[in-house]
């Protein structure tokens, strides 16, 4: 028996203590709740207020963004669709605008520049660049869900110029280098 009353592997005991410490630290930082405060302002004044972005399900990663205009998007065309909101993303995070899978599958409508990045210091209206890759004109009504918004932490890189990069088994292979399927 371990002197602290723990029977078993000492490394497992120390690992368990480390996990408990990490959980306590996450609780202190509010990370376990999975939520953070993101301030939002309605902009555009294009009509009655739209439903705010929201998660459709408990496990959804992205909040649905809605079109703040009505428009028709012919095949092969693209448009910047306003959402009627501006947001303040906390420092150290970004918001990503991503396509909705159902629109892509059923209509061939997707987001260009995907994921689109909203920087933490941007305060303008959130816009979605939609493209119609389908065969028919896609009609968007004001209030339709057109994209998803995912808020994510980020790491800033400190680029260091070097004469040589470290070797890897992959080397310079890219664009299909790892196989067909």
pLDDT tens sequence for the chain (181 residues): 444 454 555 554 455 444 445 545 444 444 545 689 999 999 999 999 999 999 999 999 999 999 999 999 999 999 999 999 999 999 999 999 999 999 999 999 999 999 999 999 999 999 999 999 999 999 999 999 999 999 999 999 999 999 999 999 888 888 776 776 6
Residues 92 and 143 in one domain: yes
Distance between CA atoms of 129 and 82, rounded to whole angstroms?
9
Tokens of 100: 């909705």
Tokens of 104: 């892509």
Beta carbons within 10 angstroms of residue 108's beta carbon:
15
Residues 2 and 51 in one domain: no
Residues 31 and 68 in one domain: no
pLDDT at 6: 47
Helices (H) and strands (E) in the chain, counts: 2, 11
Residues 81 and 130 in one domain: yes
Residues 31 and 118 in one domain: no
Q: Is the peptide bond before 115 cis (omega within 30 degrees of 0)?
A: yes
Residues 29 and 85 in one domain: no
pLDDT at 35: 86
State the total domains in the chain: 2
- The domain of 104 spans 39-153
pLDDT at 174: 81
Residues 179, 180, 181: CA angle, nearest 5 degrees: 100
DSSP 53: P
Judge whether 162 lies within some domain: no
Beta carbons within 10 angstroms of residue 144's beta carbon:
17
Residues 22 and 103 in one domain: no
H helical segments located in the chain: 10-29, 101-107
pLDDT at 102: 96
Residues 74, 100, 49: CA angle, nearest 5 degrees: 85
Residues 18 and 92 in one domain: no
Per-residue 3-state assignment (H helix, E strand, C coil) for 84-111: EEEEECCCCEEEEEECCHHHHHHHCEEE
Residues 4 and 85 in one domain: no
For 56, residues 6+ apart whose C-beta sits below 8 A from its C-beta are: 64
Residues 46 and 130 in one domain: yes
Residues 45 and 1 in one domain: no
pLDDT at 26: 47
pLDDT at 170: 87
Residues 49 and 27 in one domain: no
């Amino acid at each position: 028996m371990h002197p602290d009353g723990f029977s078993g592997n000492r490394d497992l005991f120390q690992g368990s203590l480390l996990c408990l410490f990490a959980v306590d630290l996450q609780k202190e930082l509010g990370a376990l709740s999975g939520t953070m405060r993101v301030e939002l302002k309605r902009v555009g004044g294009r009509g009655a207020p739209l439903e705010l972005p929201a998660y459709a399900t408990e496990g959804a990663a992205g909040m649905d963004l809605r079109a703040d205009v009505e428009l028709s998007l012919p095949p092969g065309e693209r448009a910047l669709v306003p959402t009627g909101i501006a947001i303040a993303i906390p420092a150290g995070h970004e918001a990503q605008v991503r396509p909705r899978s159902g629109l892509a599958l059923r209509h061939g409508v997707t987001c260009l520049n995907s994921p689109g990045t909203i920087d933490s210091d941007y305060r303008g209206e959130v816009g979605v660049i939609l493209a119609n890759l389908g065969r028919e004109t896609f009609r968007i009504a004001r209030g339709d869900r057109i994209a998803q918004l995912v808020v994510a932490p980020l790491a800033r890189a400190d680029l260091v110029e070097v004469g040589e990069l470290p070797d890897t088994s992959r080397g310079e292979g890219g664009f299909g280098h790892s196989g067909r399927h």
